[in-house]
Amino acid sequence: MFPYPSAAGLHLGHYYNYAIIDSYCRWLRHRGMTVFQPFGYDAFGLPAENYARKVGRDPVDVTYENIEQFRQQMVRMNTCYDERLVTCEPSYVKWTQWMFTRLHERGLAYKAWSEVNWCPSCETVLANEQVIHDHCERCGSAVELRNLNQWYFRITDYRDRLIAGLDRIDMPESTKRMQRAWLADLKDWCVSRQRQWGCPIPIEGETDTLDTFVDSSFYYLRYLTDSDTEFLPEGCYQPVDLYVGGAEHACMHLIYARFIHMVLFDMGIVPQEEPFRKVIHQGVIKKDGAKMSKSKGNAVSPDDYDPDELRLYLMFIGPYSEGGEWSDQHIVGQRRFLSRMQRWLGERGSDPIDLSPFETQVDRDVRAFKFNKVVSGFMEFYNRHKHLRPDEKMARQVEEMLRVFAPGFRAGHSGGEEGGKLLTGQTAVA
Ligand SMILES: [Zn+2]
């Protein structure tokens, strides 16, 4: 799932998603597969607009500053993502408006008066899901009810198909349960927002913009093309094999994306009803027993750590879907492990090592998202073989395997001790 480029920059939760899934992709490439690993920015939205208004600036400038910060952090993270789009750019806005127009033509977008949730502070309508105990999810203000003329997407027409489709997706059972419950009480999707920093509704006289969940309901398809004339040119469709993001997106985003994909299926633009073959959620990294947050003062910044040590540590911290408890003491263990590997692989000999059982084991663990077992597997491998001196070829093979999970690693060098170094020739984010 692509990020919202907030002013706070890339946080540890992003890192847990993007760095570890980058290693997953690198591993599949190591095994000979071709992997398309796209990235983008969900750039419109209230926080940038609210902040820009507060400080008297243009939201576009604020947003691009934030994106630039994310880009630099992605480079430092040393990933292979291919940046494909930013949703506030005219080349993307065009397709968000195209999507609205197609739904309108099919009778799936309509305008109606109704009582809606209104945040007086954000000055916009909120979806039911954005109201938590009668308060705005974004700013915490008490939400009012107002009678307003709003645009809706007729998602209720797709209710039965959205429920039936759940049987065909490989997705955590907890998420399927939440989607079924949410679809027990589905209302049409209110998509108009009384805000400036969003995609304008392409209807004459409209001043409202579209809910940013519309922008994010089809972006994965626009990753596949930069055609300016066709939404999805013939022959470029690929299903999303693996979609990774937080469990907090179980309902809104993951249901909206499925709905829009079903509409595109009915239009003959995509050959399958469901957009994602497999969905997984990364777990939550906690500190002092609580979810990290700036306001609680327990947030750890990825910028303060060596990218390889941090990546290995996050892999090691617990089962990927469960996350774990952060410890500054334990991350040092990864530094020691990398130093040992550097020294060991820097000393040449002619001892034979059979790498294939280990490679099979790593392959099994990576494909099961058991990254913690991958790291402990490397440590066991080292302990079993540290008395041996591999030849040049064998040392290179082990190094290449380890670089999948610690891309800056070099045998016989003393890198990895200090942060901020890009040691690999890999292109990071374009
Ligand atoms: Zn608000």
Residue extents of the structural domains in the chain? 89-280, 302-405
Q: 27 CA to middle of ligand 1, Å?
A: 43
Tokens for 154, please give them. 């007729």
Q: How confident is the model at residue 422 (pLDDT cuts 50, 70, 90)?
A: very low
Q: 120 CA to middle of ligand 1, Å?
A: 7
Strand partners, 159: none
Q: 140 CA to middle of ligand 1, Å?
A: 6
Tokens for 188, please give them. 């049409």
Q: 99 CA to middle of ligand 1, Å?
A: 27
Q: Which CATH superfamily is domain 302-405 in?
A: Isoleucyl-tRNA Synthetase; Domain 1 (1.10.730.10)
Q: 121 CA to middle of ligand 1, Å?
A: 5
12-30 helix and 392-405 helix, angle to the nearest 10 degrees: 140
What is the pTM (predicted TM-score) of this model?
0.91
Tokens for 258, please give them. 């499925």
Q: 14 CA to middle of ligand 1, Å?
A: 24
Residue 212 and residue 198 in contact, taking contact as beta carbons nearer than 8 Å: yes
Q: Give Rg (Cα) of the chain.
A: 24
327 has a pLDDT exceeding 50? yes
Contacts of residue 100, defined as CB under 8 A and 6 or more positions apart, other chains included, come to 109, 191, 201, 202, 210, 214
Q: 116 CA to middle of ligand 1, Å?
A: 14
Task: Return the pLDDT at 413.
Answer: 57
CA distance 124 to 116: 10
17 has a pLDDT exceeding 50? yes
Q: 141 CA to middle of ligand 1, Å?
A: 6
How far CA 362 is from CA of 84, 244, 286, 311, in Å, comes to: 30, 20, 26, 16
pLDDT tens track for 152-191: 999 999 999 999 999 999 999 999 999 999 998 999 999 9
Task: Return the pLDDT at 430.
Answer: 32
Q: 137 CA to middle of ligand 1, Å?
A: 7
Q: 47 CA to middle of ligand 1, Å?
A: 10
pLDDT tens track for 290-315: 988 877 888 899 999 999 999 999 99
Q: 51 CA to middle of ligand 1, Å?
A: 12
Note the CATH architecture for domain 89-280: 3-Layer(aba) Sandwich (3.40)
Q: 124 CA to middle of ligand 1, Å?
A: 8
Q: 209 CA to middle of ligand 1, Å?
A: 16
CA distance 346 to 380: 19
Q: 240 CA to middle of ligand 1, Å?
A: 33
pLDDT tens track for 207-259: 999 999 999 999 999 999 999 999 999 999 999 999 999 999 999 999 999 99
What does the mean pLDDT of the chain come to? Answer: 93
Residue 262 and residue 221 in contact, taking contact as beta carbons nearer than 8 Å: no
Task: Return the pLDDT at 414.
Answer: 52
Q: 122 CA to middle of ligand 1, Å?
A: 4
134 has a pLDDT exceeding 90? yes
375 has a pLDDT exceeding 60? yes
Q: 365 CA to middle of ligand 1, Å?
A: 43
- Averaged over 1-27, what is the pLDDT? 95
Q: 46 CA to middle of ligand 1, Å?
A: 9
Q: 158 CA to middle of ligand 1, Å?
A: 30
Strand partners, 325: 286
CA distance 271 to 212: 26
> In sequence order, what DSSP letters do the residues of 355-374 get, joined into one string?
-HHHHHHHHHHHHTT-HHHH
Q: Return the amino acid letter for 417.
A: E
Helix (H) or strand (E) holding 111: strand 109-119
Q: Return the amino acid letter for 122.
A: C
